[in-house]
Structure 1
Amino acid sequence: MTPAGKPLMPRLPTLEDIRAAAADIAGQVMRTPLVAAPRLSQITGCEIFVKYENMQVTNAFKERGALVKLLALPEADRRRGVIAMSAGNHAQAVAYHAAGLGISAKIVMPVTTPHVKVQATEAFGAEVVLEGELVSDAQVAAARIAVEEDRVWVHPYDDVDVIRGQGTIALEMLEDRPDLDAMVVPVGGGGMIAGMGIAAKALRPDIAVIGAETRLYPAMWARLRDLDQPCGGNTLAEGIAVRNVGELTLEAARQVVDDIILVDEPAIERAVSLYLTAQKTIAEGAGAAGLAAVLTEPERFAGRKVGLVLCGGNIDPRLLASVLMRELAREERIVAIRMNLPDRPGVLGDLSTLIGGRGGNILEVSHRRTVLDIPAKGASLDITFEARNGQHAEEVCEALRARGYEVTRL
């Protein structure tokens, strides 16, 4: 106890603690590959290496810390059962490994958690309770249930065993690429960057450990600067949408994190799209945050060897499809136009011929005759078409204008 009667904060794990965690989980958690990404390197201007944590059984890195924590529980605590709160990936990890160890698990998740994560958690054998809008709300509920049911608390990030489990990622990355100049790590509550930073700095004091947080939830960024920064809003990276970081993780970050980059939603969307189109792999928003940080500040990483942690791939398929379509629209490979036309035979055929003849591919047509802002003998036509790029899209529009049609880009 401290002189004021407050309990002492547990000590942070050491490199040896993290190595012991690696030995504990060997053969039970996948040693994921760290693979060069030439196409991402070309886009970003640095040499990118991706750590594919989305290849774990639960498709996220959280298995490491969860298993280390569960293995550390004495038999009496295992019999009590465990409880956790999570936006999805920690939930699945605890559920999966608790089932393997014969431990009863109950998980509290925010009501905003994607259905794919809720269903996966239940499929791994845990009981799921949906309560609250955010992880912080779910934490309050989980703390209440832990007392009511005498369950052991398995915190998603502010726990020594969880931190040392997540640190095993850095051990593997530096075993595979000891010459990395930087690691870019997504940050929510801070468990992963705390563990990875401790391991990385112990092995390579000169390596840069950079965090990536969504600008809507800059909790760690603000705490490191002693700022009172508001957190809130709908983010694609719900896995790191955390209002309160851990006290242990904050202490670790103060010691081993060089900086944190805040990323906007368009950068996260672009990173998710690039992982799929360039790397042929799936990243959820939080999993793509590291790449989003490099896209946001490419000058910081120019010419350097950079390790990215693709920490999770649990994204709702419908949301992924929406992200891809939005990115195609940003790249002007999908273009929407509106035209007011004379309502006479042959006009649609002429438009189709013009667009197709210039290499455009019509995806959708909406033909309206009853709106009051066009003449009675006219029609309003919305066309969505596919183009090679922005220049090609404009060439198609100019061909339509040259034929006498009035074209408005939407």
Structure 2
Amino acid sequence: MDTVTLDMVRAAKERLNGVAQHTAIMQSTAVSTCSHCNVFLKMENLQRTGSFKLRGAYNKVASLSEAEKARGIVASSAGNHAQGVALAASEYGVKATICMPSNAPLSKIDATRSYGADVVLAGDFYSDAYDKACELEKEKGLTFCHPFNDPLVIAGQGTIALEILEDVPETDVIVVPIGGGGLISGIAVAAKAIKPSIRIVGVQTAGMPSMKVSVEDDKLTTVPSHKSLADGITVGTPGDVTFELVKKYVDDIVTVDESEIAGAILFLLERVKTAAEGAGACPVAALMNHKITGIEGKNVVALVSGGNIDVNIIDRIINNGLVQSWRRAYFDVVVEDRPYVLASLTKLVSDSNANILSIFHDRSQRDIEVGYVHVALELETMNEEHVQGLLKTLRANGFPAVLR
């Protein structure tokens, strides 16, 4: 018998009434066009606390006995479960201690503290935070709120499926990020119970595909820790509860790499006008890069599971994405150090309709001969053809530029 049922998910929905938002589903022409299917985005990045995690965390805390609440609760999290537990604990007047990796985004740490929880930073990865939470559970007799391997948490996450099938009953496929498996387990159980023909596809990072490897090996398998833009799903070992549910209900698991995740974050920012954290962008990354087969022309719901991304990371992703898409280019060229040479160089750049963002003029490099100067240009460009054309033009006019 399953540890999580549709009735449990429906009970969770009742508990979450007035707490979790029924988030919007928007059809995305931009994602649909590049994915060759009809894509709808389930916007859990607009959920309270900025993530779906509120659903499972609140359902768990709301279901605790008075004795369990009185002991205080402890949780481990990369950041989003932390905020969900902290908010739920504050509403029930329960003391919460949250263990998080020391390199968790500052925005997630600050948000967790803002709900009144004590934050304990431990190690560099989720597994370190989990070990610390287990230690505190034993030392202080706290009640542990697991982020994914708990039927009540899983049932809470499953309420997303109820909303998807209420809003888009013609859904053929739901694409969901996987870390420890709580989110996809809850969605799969509920969705398959309502619509058995529906297909559930999970997405993991290529660096930490713990659930994919476990399913392939038919046993719980631990993969080495690996830093990722999708910090919310960097889980080395899936839960035993979620593992069994995923094996039974999930149809396929695919992976995306870091550049694909970054590209999806940038695409969502620029084309969909929404901010997604790395984990939340993984389903879109999988669709954009054609990782999922057999979905051409289908109605596909991609879960944008969270939006709690550090603004510093956004800045790096934007810059990297502009370079990867040839909309920003860096040229180096050594020219004669005499009047009008720099003006001639910049005129050629201007005539090509490239915009100079910055220019660096340096005579002091060791390998630059006297009478010459190194010029570094940061340019705003249109595409690869534009960049290569400008490079050719500069060389044809006596400027031996190289692309950095």
Deviations 1:305-361 (A, max 9, x none): 110110011111011111011111111000111101111122222222211121100
Match of 1:388 in 2: 382
Q: Counterpart of 2:188 in 1: which secondary structure?
A: helix
The residue type paired with residue 239 of structure 2 is G
Equivalent in 290, 295, 298 of residue 288 of structure 2: 295
CA distance in 1, matches of 2:226, 2:374: 36
CA distance in 1, matches of 2:16, 2:223: 38
Is residue 271 of structure 1 aligned with residue 264 of structure 2?
yes
Deviations 1:18-62 (A, max 9, x none): 011111101111110111001111121111100000111210000
Q: Counterpart of 2:330 in 1: which secondary structure?
A: strand
Task: Tell me if the contact between 1:335 and 1:393 (Cα under 8 Å) persists in the aligned partners.
Answer: yes
Pairing 1:197-212 to 2, within 5 Å after superposition? 197-212=188-203
Equivalent in 230, 235, 246 of residue 242 of structure 1: 235
Match of 2:28 in 1: 37
Q: 1:232 to 1:208 in 2, by over 3 A?
A: same
Match of 2:81 in 1: 90
Deviations 1:145-176 (A, max 9, x none): 01211111000000010000000001100111
Match of 1:232 in 2: 225
Match of 1:6 in 2: none
The residue type paired with residue 262 of structure 1 is T
Is residue 180 of structure 1 aligned with residue 171 of structure 2?
yes
Q: 1:44 to 1:171 in 2, by over 3 A?
A: same
CA distance in 1, matches of 2:373, 2:296: 52
Task: Tell me if the contact between 1:163 and 1:195 (Cα under 8 Å) persists in the aligned partners.
Answer: yes
Q: CA deviation at 1:390?
A: 1.1
Deviations 1:276-297 (A, max 9, x none): 0111010000110111111232
Equivalent in 42, 47, 66 of residue 56 of structure 1: 47
Pairing 1:9-408 to 2, within 5 Å after superposition? 11-226=2-217, 230-296=223-289, 297=291, 299-408=293-402
Q: Counterpart of 2:42 in 1: which secondary structure?
A: strand
Q: Counterpart of 2:366 in 1: which secondary structure?
A: coil
Q: Which runs of 5+ in 1 are unaligned?
A: 1-9
CA distance in 1, matches of 2:93, 2:222: 42
CA distance in 2, matches of 1:395, 1:213: 39
More deviation, 295-304/54-63:
295-304
CA distance in 2, matches of 1:148, 1:186: 33
Task: Tell me if the contact between 1:337 and 1:382 (Cα under 8 Å) persists in the aligned partners.
Answer: yes
More deviation, 386-395/173-182:
386-395
The Cα RMSD (Å) is 1.3
Q: Counterpart of 1:287 in 2: which secondary structure?
A: helix
CA distance in 2, matches of 1:396, 1:300: 41
The residue type paired with residue 96 of structure 2 is A
CA distance in 2, matches of 1:197, 1:236: 25
**What percent of counterpart residues are identical?**
38
CA distance in 1, matches of 2:345, 2:49: 49
The residue type paired with residue 324 of structure 2 is R
Q: CA deviation at 1:374?
A: 2.1
Task: Tell me if the contact between 1:294 and 1:301 (Cα under 8 Å) persists in the aligned partners.
Answer: no
Task: Tell me if the contact between 1:44 and 1:298 (Cα under 8 Å) persists in the aligned partners.
Answer: no
Deviations 1:82-138 (A, max 9, x none): 100000000011111111111110000011211111111111110000012211111
Q: CA deviation at 1:230?
A: 3.5
TM-score by length of 1: 0.95
Q: CA deviation at 1:11?
A: 4.7
The residue type paired with residue 226 of structure 1 is D
Task: Tell me if the contact between 2:254 and 2:292 (Cα under 8 Å) persists in the aligned partners.
Answer: no
The residue type paired with residue 213 of structure 1 is Q
Task: Tell me if the contact between 1:45 and 1:298 (Cα under 8 Å) persists in the aligned partners.
Answer: no
Q: CA deviation at 1:229?
A: 6.8
More deviation, 341-350/161-170:
341-350
Deviations 1:161-213 (A, max 9, x none): 00000000011001111111100000000000000000111111111100000
Q: Counterpart of 2:375 in 1: which secondary structure?
A: strand
Match of 1:7 in 2: none
The residue type paired with residue 299 of structure 2 is K
Q: Counterpart of 2:284 in 1: which secondary structure?
A: helix
Give the number of aligned pairs.
401
Q: Counterpart of 1:194 in 2: which secondary structure?
A: helix
CA distance in 1, matches of 2:362, 2:223: 45
More deviation, 292-301/250-259:
292-301
CA distance in 2, matches of 1:235, 1:28: 31
